[in-house]
Amino acid sequence: MRYVPDDALRRLEALEQQSRTSGVATRAEFLMLYSNSLQATGDVQRGLAVADELIAYGRQQRDDGALAKGLLARSYALYQLADLKGCHAAAFEAERVGLRTKDMPLHVHVLITAGQSYQEDGNYPAALSKLQEAVEVARRIEGNRLPLASALNALVFLYVNMRQFDKGWELQQESVAVAKSINSPGRVADALSMEYALGIESNQPERARRALLEGLAVERKLGARQMIATTLVNLADSYLKEHDYARALDYSNQSLKAAIDVRSTNDIATSRINLGQAYLGLGRIAEGKQQFEAGLAEYDKAGDKPELQAVLLEYGGALERAGDYKGAVEAYHRERTLTNEMFAKQRQKDVLELQQKYDTEKKQRQIEALRQENRVKGAELDNRRLQQRIWWLLAVVSALVTAIVGLLYRKVRTANAQLEEKNEELKQQSSLDPLTSLYNRRHFQEFMRGHGTVERRVFGDDTVGALFLMDVDHFKNVNDTYGHAAGDAVLRMIAENLRVALRETDMIVRWGGEEFLAFLPAVSRQSVDEVARRILYTISSQSLQYQGITIPVNVSVGFAPFPLVPGDTPLSWERAVNLVDMALYLAKAHGRNRAYGVRGFANFSQTTMESIEQDLERAWRNGFVDLSVVLGGPHGAPPPAESCGTSNVVQLKAGRKSKSR
């Protein structure tokens, strides 16, 4: 069914009337297959509706098996709709319900889906436990090895993600053998596809390609058009990794035709990106750009912002290797603009959540104030009754009232202190990044707007302020390879290292994503380069130990003294940060693990600030900008520094590696 979904859907629709009037088990199995077939042919919303119908039917019949199958189908549909939270919730509920039945193949099914959900969350220990349990349950099923084939394939994929390649290869042999023993070409194709992934990740490209070619033959014999398109995409990608651009071009054209045939948006977009890389590798820059732009348009139309961001970085790297540095910088600027848009949306969401939290606390304070007021009024009424009834105890009552008022006063004072503490806590939360405990971008912007004199600050000749903008090198590779939890650990480690490298009086900011900004209010002009060197060394000298794996970490840096004064007028802090951002892009484009600094301007009467901002590298080469380059060294070695003035143009090197998908 999943390998030739169009044919499966036609057959299921022919059986629909008969199946809907059958018993609970038959009807439940039909609805699950029907939902999965609709999803596989691209009609995900209808597939979700059928899944919800099955869930309602299972609850109406009080049948855990039918309910679990409906929840599984719903989980798959939500995954395709990019609702991972809803997908995982349905998967975990399906596991809870399915394990109450006596259906052992269903037990395997729900355990696999729960394990894959933990895997997508980055919780590998929980995922490993579930998938190993699924394999053990499947081994005990007699006369049906299909659940074992599914469980083994899922466990091999987890070992690939965990980079435990020895265990993966050991289990892969059994996975292929089981798939061949049940005479299922589709399961054989699945196992060979997993062997490709294992080969690529364990750096065995020839073994990976043999698996792809063998799998392609099986898929063509089976007529699995969607699998054929995906395999052709992977073949093109494997040749791109070896810089065999002619073969990559051939397989990219085949995969594009196959993807269009099955209307697979993702494979169409990826095929065009692969075509763009192949053309650029062959020196056909115009055709390469055309295909890259077509692929980007597909991702943009699908609204896949994270993938669009990753492809723009890949685009910039490919143009850089092809020698089109201007095009590379433009691609990086497009990626940065998209990153800022995504950050702005996230920031708006965070602000709304913070406002909601504040409103809730405000209502609680109002309720507490009303309760306090009622207690005070009650005390006053009691006092009046006592005065009316017991005049002879007036002195005692007066003392009691005094004590009550004192107690109330202390309570009010305590409530006010707690209110001030809450307000201070709320203010601090709105100023700090929750992951790194550094100042956030909003706090820095408010600081600069509230201290306008910072931009006009004048020191002696030897003292300046300074801005440093840092971006983590190859951060997407860390997230893709080790998971987002590892990426978060990298960001926390960099934050700690920046606290070590800089002073307590310096403002360190999480600028957004994998970017950090540091503002030094006062530093020796001669030591600005040294600060950049210290940042590079402090970060690169520390490697992150994560789950038994060593992850090296570097950053690229753009920096400048502040204020920057071209001519007679200082730049605003926004324009200064933008110029430092452009210097950071030069550091990225020229090899990473280095810092580019704007030291000043020369011959400014012959140019304009707008011209410099349009193309910093050209302004540097034309002698209008004085730059300083600080090179990062290998891990554990302090990097040397070199400066390049207006008359000393440094030859740029195009050696940066692109990020692999």
**What is the tens place of the pLDDT at every residue in 152-168?**
999 999 999 898 999 99
Distance (Å, whole) CA 249 – CA 253 = 6
SS (H, E, C) 400-413: HHHHHHHHHHHHHH
How big is the chain, counted in residues? 661
Task: Give the bridge partners for 508, in sequence order.
Answer: 518
DSSP state of 577: H
Question: Are residues 575 and 582 in contact, defined by beta-carbon separation less than 8 angstroms?
Answer: no
DSSP per residue over 504-552, as a string?
Answer: TTSEEEEEETTEEEEEEEEEEGGGHHHHHHHHHHHHHT--EEETTEEE-
Tokens of 617: 């590298």
Instruction: Identify the pLDDT of residue 421.
Output: 66
Cα 602 off chain centre by: 41
Find, among 502, 493, 642, 629, the residue nearest to 556 by Cα: 629
Instruction: Identify the pLDDT of residue 410.
Output: 73
Find, among 386, 392, 383, 509, the residue nearest to 444 by Cα: 509
Residue type (1 letter), 69? K
Question: Are residues 471 and 555 in contact, defined by beta-carbon separation less than 8 angstroms?
Answer: yes
Tokens of 246: 């002619």
Distance (Å, whole) CA 86 – CA 312 = 29
- HSE-CB at 451 with a 13 A cutoff on CA atoms is 11
DSSP per residue over 303-333, as a string?
Answer: T-HHHHHHHHHHHHHHHHHHT-HHHHHHHHH
Low-confidence ranges of the chain (pLDDT < 50): 1, 405, 455-456, 458, 636-661
Instruction: Identify the pLDDT of residue 346.
Output: 58
Write out pLDDT tens, residues 420-450: 666 555 566 578 999 999 999 999 999 888 7
DSSP state of 438: S
Give the phi and the psi of residue 410 in degrees, each rounded to 5. Answer: -65, -40
Distance (Å, whole) CA 248 – CA 291 = 14
Q: Which helix (H) or strand (E) holds 565?
A: none
Distance (Å, whole) CA 323 – CA 398 = 92
In sequence order, the 6+-apart residues with CB closer than 8 A to the CB of 166 are none
Neighbour-count burial of 195, counting CB atoms closer than 10 A to its CB (0-12 exposed, 13-18 middle, 19+ buried): buried
- Pairing type for strands 439-440 and 515-524 reads unpaired
Describe the chain by its helix, strand, coil percentages, rounded to 5: 70, 10, 20
In sequence order, the 6+-apart residues with CB closer than 8 A to the CB of 605 are 567
Distance (Å, whole) CA 464 – CA 576 = 14
Give the phi and the psi of residue 569 in degrees, each rounded to 5. Answer: -115, 120
Distance (Å, whole) CA 596 – CA 469 = 10
Give the phi and the psi of residue 520 in degrees, each rounded to 5. Answer: -100, 115
Question: Are residues 635 and 299 in contact, defined by beta-carbon separation less than 8 angstroms?
Answer: no
Helix (H, G, I), strand (E, B) or coil at 466: strand
Give the phi and the psi of residue 660 in degrees, each rounded to 5. Answer: -80, 150
**62 phi-psi bin (left φ>0, alpha ψ -120 to 50, beta other):** left
Which spans in 451-483 are helix H? Answer: 475-482
Task: Give the bridge partners for 628, in sequence order.
Answer: 597, 643
Sign of CA dihedral 137, 142, 147, 149: positive
Question: Are residues 627 and 598 in contact, defined by beta-carbon separation less than 8 angstroms?
Answer: yes
CA Rg, the chain, in Å? 32
Instruction: Identify the pLDDT of residue 10.
Output: 83
Which spans in 41-99 are helix H? Answer: 44-61, 64-80, 84-98
Name all contacts of 427-431 with Cβ < 8 Å and 24+ positions apart: 429/354, 430/354
Longest CA pairwise span in the chain (Å): 110
Residue type (1 letter), 32? M
Give the phi and the psi of residue 90 in degrees, each rounded to 5. Answer: -65, -40
Question: Are residues 44 and 80 in contact, defined by beta-carbon separation less than 8 angstroms?
Answer: yes
Task: Give the bridge partners for 642, in sequence order.
Answer: 629
Give the phi and the psi of residue 654 in degrees, each rounded to 5. Answer: -105, 80
- HSE-CB at 138 with a 13 A cutoff on CA atoms is 25
